[in-house]
Amino acid sequence: MKKTLWVCICLTLMLVAKTHKVEQEKISDIQSTVEEVVAFYSQEMNNTAVLLLVEKEGKRYKAAAGLADRESQRKVYMDDLFEIGSATKVFTGVAIFQLIEEGKLSLETKLSTFYKEGEIRKLANYEGKNYWSEVTVGMLMGHTSGFIDYLNVYNDDAKALKILGGKGKHFTFDQLIHQAVAFGDANFKPGERHEYCNTGFVILGDIISKVSGMDWHDYVQKHILDRVGMKHTYFGSRIPSALREKMPKGYMAYKEVFMPPSLADSAGEIISTVDDLAAFMKAWAGGKLYAKKETLQFQLTQGFHQHYKTVKSILYGYAIMKIEGFYGHGGQTFGFQTYMTINPTNSNLYIVGVNDSTVGAMNFFTSLERIEVK
């Protein structure tokens, strides 16, 4: 049995036992349970830093355990910043829907509207034909474009790290597009099926810049971060160096690594805290980031596809993942994993952050919520 699965089973058993004890003795001690589970998970994962925020029935519980820096043995703190990786896609998606509400584009807007020439058009080459004129904004949002994913062309995180990782590197939009194009034709004809693609969300960031007249970083800052009051959320390419140095180190299989922020761009460069992410998820689920109630309802109900071929219960819609009644997104950089999710019906939410890309954040959530993933 794989260690990760065994740990998830142990966590579930701990929670069930603790819940039973609480019910029998009528003692409300959820905070201590959260602390125990986080400490256990951290220890089983070789003292990886684990941050958890849980909100249930209007009450919030938080816990942190593990090492922010293995070399100095510095412990992680609850308010530490961490890379949220692809959870950034929810922010990018919200920005797109806001611009749709303003009538500046739609899910059916063709990419050819913005990119009439250039290498980017080659992304839609498939079996001797170019389908660029058929690709829409909605296809990028739902990962049905068929484009090559520039971040996963090697199918090996360690190899990708060796080639693309390291401090001091900077990647432009054109370089990221070239990285995808260089690996050949698209995976399938646009709209044919769902397959996760970071390239699409990098393009969405560029579209936000073109349509809004603001750099996508500035747009997200003004229309989302400032609006929610996320004062401890930054873009990896813009975070002050002093704050970056104080962050937990990122690891891959317990070895220190670094992912250039510009490599993730609008597909995954945001850095945040569990409290800021909780504020964002509550604002989003409460419809406070949209001008119309219909926009949130649309995002919660439309465009979903089975995300993994062998897992039926995990669905992906327009910039959002769904597991049973919870909506959110996972994230992974070379050195971190995160998972943020909320149930809009009862406002229960989970924010998980870990500082090792090989330690599961989404698995931790599903075991805590005791969701059976099929």
Cα-Cα-Cα-Cα dihedral sign, residues 256, 260, 263, 267: positive
Predicted confidence (pLDDT) per residue in 124-166, tens digit: 999 999 999 999 999 999 999 999 999 999 989 999 999 999 9
The pLDDT confidence band at residue 17, using thresholds 50, 70 and 90, is low
**Amino acid found at 175:** Q
Q: How far is CA 255 from CA 67, 71, 74, 360, in A?
A: 13, 10, 15, 16
Asked if pLDDT for residue 1 goes beyond 70, the answer is no
Q: Is residue 180 part of a domain?
A: yes
pLDDT at 23: 46
**Average pLDDT, rounded, for the chain:** 93
Contact 261, 236 (CB under 8 A): yes
Rounded to 5°, the CA angle 154-164-183 comes to 40
Enter the tokens of residue 317. 């819609």
DSSP H/E element including 63: strand 59-65
Residue 69: CB partners within 8 Å, gap ≥ 6?
A: 248, 249
Q: Is residue 308 part of a domain?
A: yes
Q: Is residue 196 part of a domain?
A: yes
Q: Is residue 53 part of a domain?
A: no
- The packing angle between helices 30-44 and 3-25, to 10°, is 160
Contact 319, 13 (CB under 8 A): no
Angstrom distance (rounded) from CA 135 to CA 192: 11
Rounded to an integer, the average pLDDT of 361-367 is 96
Nearest Cα residue to 186 out of 129, 139, 226: 129
Q: What is the CATH number of the domain that holds 215?
A: 3.40.710.10
Rounded to an integer, the average pLDDT of 223-235 is 98
To the question of pTM greater than 0.85 for the whole model, the response is yes
Q: Range of 212's domain?
A: 82-368
Least confident of 54-58, 126-130, 248-252, 356-360: 54-58
Q: Is residue 43 part of a domain?
A: no
Q: Is residue 11 part of a domain?
A: no
Q: Is residue 220 part of a domain?
A: yes
Angstrom distance (rounded) from CA 374 to CA 166: 37
DSSP H/E element including 60: strand 59-65
The pLDDT confidence band at residue 7, using thresholds 50, 70 and 90, is low
Q: Is residue 151 part of a domain?
A: yes
Asked if pLDDT for residue 35 goes beyond 50, the answer is yes
Phi, psi of 7 (to 5 degrees): -65, -45
Structural domain total, the chain: 1
